Amino acid sequence: MKNPYYPIDTVVEDVITETPTIKTFVLKPVRPIQFKAGQFMQLTVPGVGEAPFTPSSDPSITERMEITILKTGKVTDALHELGPGAKVGLRGPFGKGYPLDKLVGKDVLVVGGGVGLAPMRALLYGLFADPSKYKKIVIKFGAREPAELSFRRQFDEWRALADNISLQTTIDVPHPDWTGHVGLVTTVLETEHLEGIDIVDSYALSCGPEIMLKFVTLKLLEIGYKPPQIYLSMNRKMSCGMGKCGRCNVGHYYLCVDGPDMCYDKIKHVPNVFG
């Protein structure tokens, strides 16, 4: 029986700079790792510590894994100093992942902010495997400025995959090199920007900072989504990955076991649900 506390030996094969503060690490574990879109891994930097991250790569690829990381603390600072050949560890996967089975035959709205598109990239790969299974795949992605748009190198490729896929980006404030939409990501959730989505027959999935999740949720409710139709990636305070340490609870749920992608209907009555 595998020890869930023991990291899998892993080598950094490549490091891709996405933005000035975000890098994608291409990892090669000593054995294949199967994961579902939305599940997370504990990534260990020897001598520094470990932290939870959701893979940003295609779940159908098990020999390698990509994890996209914002430089924001002790472990992430150390990771951003690593290059190809560095050795790290992986534990997991943990959590349930996105409810892909529920999305079949529906309009799917994907909303990301900042590094929040990283966990959703695995979801997008899952959807892109067969776009014909969904009525529409509508992606809305916001960042503070153009330089902070993760995976910008892939946007045209994604748009060209199928006629039912659309992607719109926005930045928070005007920028001299930007000709697209300007405004918080909630401003591209107005009805005129939703590509004719049938809200009654749709699911919305969102990942980003908690303050963004709060206002995205409020906007989704305002335009007609019901709580059971909204899924939020609430990646916070996850440590053991198995519901033992009690740090990641939201109400009586543990994000590391019951999430981290939580249906809003389950947590809407929790005080301070958005932190």
CATH class assigned to 100-233:
alpha beta
Please state, rounded to an integer, the average pLDDT across all residues of the chain.
Answer: 92
d(CA 44, CA 47): 9
Alpha helices in 47-114 (DSSP H): 74-79, 100-103
Could you report the per-residue pLDDT of 35-59, keeping only the tens digit for each? 999 999 999 999 999 999 999 999 9
Name the pLDDT band for 32 (thresholds 50, 70, 90): very high
**Residue linked to tokens 């209907």:** 265
d(CA 69, CA 82): 12
List residues bridging with 171 in a β-sheet: 143, 182
| Closest residue by Cα to residue 250 from 95, 83, 46 | 95
Identity of the amino acid at 203: Y
pLDDT of the residue at 51? 92
CATH 3.40.50.80 maps onto the chain at: 100-233
* pLDDT of 273 higher than 60: yes
Rounded to an integer, the average pLDDT of 220-238 is: 90
Provide the token pair at 239: 């440590």
Q: Tell me if 45 sits within 8 A of 78, measured CB to CB.
A: yes
Q: Tell me if 172 sits within 8 A of 183, measured CB to CB.
A: yes
Identity of the amino acid at 54: T
* pLDDT of 1 higher than 50: no
* pLDDT of 9 higher than 50: yes
Instruction: Tell me which CATH code domain 8-94 carries.
Output: 2.40.30.10
First to last CA, the chain: 37
Supply the pTM of this predicted model: 0.93
CATH 2.40.30.10 maps onto the chain at: 8-94
Of the two residues 4 and 151, the one the predictor is more confident about is 151
- For 126, residues 6+ apart whose C-beta sits below 8 A from its C-beta are 37, 58, 59, 98, 100
Rounded to an integer, the average pLDDT of 249-272 is: 84
Could you report the per-residue pLDDT of 171-210, keeping only the tens digit for each? 999 999 899 999 999 999 998 999 899 999 999 999 988 8
